[in-house]
Structure 1
Amino acid sequence: MPDNEASAIARLRDRIGQRASRTLGQWGVFFRGFLEHPRMVGSIIPSSRYTIDKMLAPVDWDRCDLFVEYGPGVGTFCLPVLERMKGTGRLVAIDTNPLFVDFLNRTIKDSRFTAVLGSAEDVEEIVRFAGHEQADYVLSGLPFSTLPGGVGEKIVAATERVLRPGGAFMAYQFTAAVRDLMRTDFRRIDSGFEFWNFLPVKLFWAWKD
């Protein structure tokens, strides 16, 4: 594709995304993020409440001082996590898309919450910068099946290192790619499935010994 044609398509996609974000609010921001970075957004539709409830069910909230989320998008999981979290807990959301990070920091008015522009590969540094040594739970909606080669392995390894013993790396996916990556660093992996989601989604909980 010629450079001028690719540039024109990119400008058109950006205009559509900006118009959607202005017109549709949260959904528009999510759609714009998908248009701009389709390989880094797991779905064009946010997760259902059934998926959220089932994904978060195993969390021991009394023992959760730091909850980390990769790829929070427009915060579909952020508010449910904050609703369940104790008053002294902390939620750090990490995203590579400045559009999502800006939206979350502007709209979630909770002192326990911070959205950080960065990569999940750097979770150890981000957790230390937040004033913690380890995380209790890490949740990911990143599309591991479409990440560049080697990135998924690095994310899973860094996640295992940053988790406290007894903590869990939790992921919701349309494929089982993340489970295969988890097996290298985690011995116990529980799995589930939620039909009432667009599309039906696989759920995984990898526990650190």
Structure 2
Amino acid sequence: MSRKIGNSLKDSALFLQHAIKHPLQVGYLLPSSPWLIEEIATTAELTGKKRIVELGPGTGGTTKGLLAAMDKDAELITVEINPKFIAHLKKTIDDKRLHIDSRGAQNLSQIIAKRNWPNVDVIVSGIPFTTLPKGMDKDIMQAIHTTLKPGGVFLAYQLRDHVSGLAAPRFGQPSKKKVTYKNFPPMKIYTWRKNLNGQ
């Protein structure tokens, strides 16, 4: 991606407003930086992938980055429960490849079934797993593992390491782990590849 894609001032203001109002739901004070967005889109290995899911798009900076890196015939389901963020996404992103779903990420099997997808090639998650209600983090991780195709990529960008331990029983250790310092605060990017045997 030659041109850095980021959030506008309006995006950032909306994100900050909801981060202050609903800190457990949003998880971060500021949206992703252009450098983090580019790193996520590159690391997710989107070329040739047709069915992509994003969990927790917020105001859509990462969504725009994923769409820019995706093939023209690929599709993206973005899962967001915040009505204000959903309205903002619909208003600011005009791309026929994008489908927005307001159900929680633990319902991922039903969400992809609505689009007649058998499974998912890539799942990108910005959901702050450390702030989720007890048990929901495991439910979402199970939904991710169930819907991701064998050999598929799961990428999570997080402030803390909680996601690594959460994913380990299903995915094992991350195949890649990196830190993007050109983001405030610095963000960790974890990547897993689901075993080809589906386990």
State the TM-score, normalized to the length of structure 2: 0.88
1:91 is aligned to 2:76? yes
Equivalent pair of 1:33/1:97 in contact (CA under 8 Å): no
Q: Tell me the SS of whatever aligns to 1:166.
A: strand
Alpha-carbon RMSD: 1.4
Are positions 1:77 and 2:62 aligned together?
Answer: yes
Once the 2 structures are TM-superposed, how far is the Cα of residue 134 of structure 1 from its aligned partner? 0.7
- The aligned length equals 186
Give the share of equivalent positions with the same residue, in percent: 30
Structure 1 unaligned segments of length 5 or more: list them: 1-23
Correspondence for 1:31: 16
List, as ranges, runs of 4+ consecutive aligned residues in structure 1 with deviation greater than 3 Å: none
1:165 counterpart SS class: strand
Matches within 5 A, 1:1-209: 25-189=10-174, 190-209=176-195
Give the AA of the match of 1:36. Answer: K
The structural deviation recorded for 1:194 is: 1.1
Aligned-residue offset at 1:34:
1.6
What secondary structure is seen at the aligned counterpart in 2 of 1:198? coil
Q: Partner of 1:124: helix, strand, or coil?
A: helix
Conserved? CA contact 2:44–2:124, under 8 Å: no
Instruction: Tell me by how many angstroms 1:60 deviates.
Output: 3.2
Q: Distance in 1 between matches of 2:162 and 2:92?
A: 32
SS across alignment from 1:122: helix
Question: Could you tell me how far apart the structure 2 residues matched to 1:56 and 1:176 are?
Answer: 21
Q: Which of the two has higher C-alpha Rg?
A: 1
Question: What is the DSSP-based 3-state SS (H/G/I as helix, E as strand, rest coil) of the residue aligned with 2:25?
Answer: coil
